[in-house]
Structure 1
């Protein structure tokens, strides 16, 4: 098992510990039987204190979550109002780009660098 895979699986166990019975039921409802077999979802519905490990494993197997992409799970945690747990996943696997309109310090320095080196590009008018 790779280190990143181990880190994600450890984090999922931590998330499982913080989910309430109601959270588990809501999360299973949002996951749905298209992504996880109904029998696994029914276990959680009948016993809200059951572990989510089989569900996590199924999501891995079906490539709904991977070590590089946990957006599927983040979206569902946000929908059940567990923003704290969604934030843990965001910290584990940050988005590769920012959706903010404010450029990052790195982007600003790159822009400044391009502006201060105008002699690299010349426009040739025909």
Structure 2
């Protein structure tokens, strides 16, 4: 499991721990057909974690996109939990952009090195050719 996935699951656990049974009941109702009926009927911490697991398995949420869950949490007036996920998602998006920039810089450096080496090879070939021509 990646570090991002682990952190995301930790946040999901913290959110579940902060929800009341009434919050969980509302959340399960909103999630509707996206979670199995036996999970919708119970509002315990363990069934809510199982509900999140189902959302992860069906790719309704992921560590890179949890918009679906953010919207559901906002609808049950748990803006604090939704904000926790938004903050996490923003951090992940920034990390993705930074990683892409780093990869771009690495690729640019590799291309520059390759071009330099090709130029050096061509310079050596031209010098060899001019020496051969002189002889």
Same topology, TM > 0.5: yes
Query: Within the alignment, does 1:40 sit opposite 2:39 as a pair?
Result: yes
Shift of 1:19: 0.1
Structure 2: unaligned runs, 5 residues or longer:
94-135
Structure 1 runs of 4+ with >2 Å offset: none
TM-score w.r.t. the length of structure 1 is 0.69
RMSD: 1.7
- The 1-side partners of 2:71 and 2:13 are apart by 18
- The aligned residue for residue 90 of structure 1 is 86
Structure 1: unaligned runs, 5 residues or longer:
97-126
Q: Which has the larger radius of gyration?
A: 2
CA deviation profile, 1:46-65 (whole Å, cap 9, x unmatched): xxx33211001000001000
Aligned length: 92
- The 2-side partners of 1:53 and 1:82 are apart by 17
- The aligned residue for residue 52 of structure 2 is 56
Shift of 1:43: 2.3
Q: Report which of the two has the higher share of helix.
A: 2
- The 2-side partners of 1:72 and 1:84 are apart by 16
